[in-house]
Amino acid sequence: MHVLSKILACLCGAVFVAACAGPEPASKAVEPTPPEVTVKKEVNAPASNWGQVRPALIQALNAQSFEVQSHADPLKVILPLERYYGKSAEAVPESLKPKLDRLAQALVPFSGLMIKVVGHTDSIGPELKNQALSIKRAEAAVAYLVQKGVPSGFISSNGMGEAEPIASNKTEEGRQQNRRFEILIGPVQ
């Protein structure tokens, strides 16, 4: 009974303080946050926390319309490039930037991720040229993602050229599938 009276006294005190405080004066009105500004809680993703972070990261990527291959670690997001790059263009084209913006938006709230952008090409042209092209495209994508807030110490690039096709290079459709970025995402080890 003594505990109940203490709780009741605390509640009465809180109601009294709230009543005395009254509403804030109109001059101190808080302007609403613009709808395009969102505050995201940072989620720490070290290896010890990966089991809890992994599902949230998959959900964030899916919310940005990315298909995530999540059957193993690291997670893999495939970003087709067939509609974006010219035959030997290296810089990030304007048409690809909205996708990279959405990728950055999904990744930035998660600290402690290791991210690798791997460039791939089709087999048209000399193998060494394709290798160099895939590296330069991946480097440009990494630079763009860093510009959008992805921590530079946790993102890297690599180029595989034509070495790892996912479809036949004998057809235009297959070559289009092979021109891609694979974004590998996992915990810091």
Q: Which residues contact 6 (CB under 8 A, 6 or more apart)?
A: none
What mean pLDDT comes out for the span 65-91? Answer: 85
Nearest to 164 by CA among 187, 129, 185, 134: 134
Task: Write down the mean pLDDT value for the chain.
Answer: 80
* pTM of the entire predicted model: 0.74
DSSP, res 69: E
Instruction: Specify the amino acid at residue 11.
Output: L
pLDDT above 70 covers what percent of the chain? 71
pLDDT at 15: 39
Nearest to 187 by CA among 121, 113, 115: 113
Pairwise pLDDT comparison (77 vs 30), residue with the higher score: 77
pLDDT at 95: 87
Q: Count Cβ neighbours within 10 Å for each residue of 56-94 and write b for 16 or more, e otherwise.
A: ebbebbeebebebebeeebbbbbbebeebbeeeebebee
For residue 83, give the 3-state DSSP assignment: coil
pLDDT at 46: 58
pLDDT at 93: 87
Q: Report whether pLDDT(139) > 80.
A: yes
pLDDT at 81: 84
Q: List residues bridging with 113 in a β-sheet.
A: 187
Q: Report whether pLDDT(29) > 60.
A: no
In the structure, what pLDDT confidence band is assigned to residue 12 with cuts at 50, 70 and 90? very low
DSSP β-ladder status, 75-80 and 43-44: unpaired
Q: How many CA atoms lie within 13 A of 83 on its CB side?
A: 7
pLDDT at 111: 82
Distance CA 110, CA 55 (A): 12
Q: Are 71 and 29 in contact (CB under 8 A)?
A: no
Q: Are 175 and 122 in contact (CB under 8 A)?
A: yes
Q: Are 137 and 93 in contact (CB under 8 A)?
A: no
Q: Report whether pLDDT(118) > 50.
A: yes
In the structure, what pLDDT confidence band is assigned to residue 170 with cuts at 50, 70 and 90? very high
Which range (89-93, 111-115, 173-177, 178-182) has the least confidence?
89-93
Q: Give the total residue count for the chain.
A: 189
